[in-house]
Each structure stands twice: as structure tokens, then as C-alpha cells.
A and B are shown apart, each in its own frame.
Chain A
Amino acid sequence: EAQVTQNPRYLITVTGKKLTVTCSQNMNHEYMSWYRQDPGLGLRQIYYSMNVEVTDKGDVPEGYKVSRKEKRNFPLILESPSPNQTSLYFCASSHKSGASGNTIYFGEGSWLTVV
């Protein structure tokens, strides 16, 4: 089954304690991305990657890092989480080839609370 898998799904952590949210896709997609969802703001892009070892900032990259060492994995790293990073996070992926009308597939989301 085609899937984008995120872990953990739910996490409560303390300010300053480094954490990583993993993302893996099994569709051989070149493009992967992270979004955060906040009430009234919709989804905003944090970082994206067009292929292995190629990453770029989205609209709200501050406080986040990513890496793309393998095609299937795209972890999101919060080096020093702060309460304003409390949010629902989504990983997404799609094929890069062809028109950019390719459908983007989303994971189930990761609820992160920073206290």
C-alpha cells in the first residue's frame, strides 16, 4: 500500500530538548516536504526536498532542520524546540517528473506539544 509514514504521531516535550520527527515514503517519490498546520492559517511549508541531498527552505523554516540522505526518508529536526512550535506537522511526497500537477500524498500527521 502506498504510504507516507510519520513517527511519532503524538509527542509532548519540553523546551530545548532536541527531537526528530521521522518521515518515510514507499512510492519512490523524488519530492518530499514538511508542513505545519495551525488553526486559521491552513498548512504552511517548512522545508522541501527535490531529491537526495537537495533541500530548500519553505515559508516558515526558522527553528527547523531537515536532511535527505536517502530517497525514502526526510526527517524533521527541532534542535531546540520552543512553545511556538506546538503544532500539527505533516510530511508529504510526490513524483517530480512530468508536470507539477502530480498529486501530493500526506502522512497522518504528528501532534507536537512543547511545554
Chain B
Amino acid sequence: AQSVAQPEDQVNVAEGNPLTVKCTYSVSGNPYLFWYVQYPNRGLQFLLKYITGDNLVKGSYGFEAEFNKSQTSFHLKKPSALVSDSALYFCAVRDIGDYKLSFGAGTTVTVRA
């Protein structure tokens, strides 16, 4: 069985400061990992994914994530947060060969001006 944990319900940062949203996963095989963002009253937007290769993945809106196999983590990062980054962020995992996407509970990010 596959699962995702997002240990923080909320993350609060000041604009211009680094932003990190944590994610750990569990799969039986090798993982495909994804980050999605949900703005208020909107659908889920794809940010980035790790399939294979370089452990540092760059995505949309200046976000990046680092895959760490030994720690089974895939933390989302942004060097300098913007107020417009305030949203709900979801980490998700797929096991190789499985099309089911399992989501974490989500982390609400608030960036204050």
C-alpha cells in the first residue's frame, strides 16, 4: 500500500523568506512523486513531479522539490515566498505500475506581507 504524510497542517512565513512544505511517503516499489497546489475555490494545479534522474526537481512558479530516497521525503521549497503563494498544497505518490494517486492531507501555506 502507498501513503503520503504531510506532517504540518499549516505553514506560516513572511514574504521574502524561504518556504518549505514537508512530505514523506511510503510505497512498496519505486515512487513517482507529485506536488499540487489549490488556490481558494479553484481546482488542483500541477506544480512538479519526480519520476527519475536528478533528485532536485524544478517546477512552476519558482518552486522546487528534493527527492531523498533514504529519508523517503519529497519536500517542496521556494527560496523567496510571495503573498500570492498562500494556498493549500498537496503531496501525492504513485507506485510504479499503479495509476492510483494517493494524496497527503494537505498543508495550508500562509505568506504574510
* Contact present for B46 and A100 (CB under 8 Å): no
Neighbour of A103 across the interface among B4, B46, B90, CB < 8 A: B46
The answer to whether A105 has its CB under 8 Å from any CB of chain B is: yes
Q: Say which one of B66-74, B79-87, B94-102 lies at the interface with A.
A: B94-102
| Bound CA span A106–B40, Å | 15
Query: Smallest Cβ distance from A81 to chain B, in angstroms?
Result: 22
* Contact present for B46 and A105 (CB under 8 Å): yes
Query: Smallest Cβ distance from B105 to chain A, in angstroms?
Result: 4
The number of residue pairs between A and B whose CB atoms lie closer than 8 Å in the complex comes to 63
Tell me if A's interface is mostly helix, strand, loop or mixed: strand
Query: Smallest Cβ distance from A22 to chain B, in angstroms?
Result: 15
* Contact present for B106 and A100 (CB under 8 Å): no
- Tell whether A109 pairs with B43 under 8 Å between CB atoms, given A42-B105, A43-B103: yes
Interface residues in chain B, defined as those with a beta carbon under 8 Å from any beta carbon in chain A = 4, 6, 9, 32, 34, 36, 42-46, 49, 51-52, 90, 92, 94-106
Interface residues in chain A, defined as those with a beta carbon under 8 Å from any beta carbon in chain B = 4, 31, 33, 35, 40-45, 48, 50, 58, 90, 92, 94, 96, 99-101, 103-109
Which 6 A-B pairs have CB atoms at the shortest separation, nearest pair first? A101-B51, A42-B103, A108-B43, A106-B44, A101-B32, A43-B103
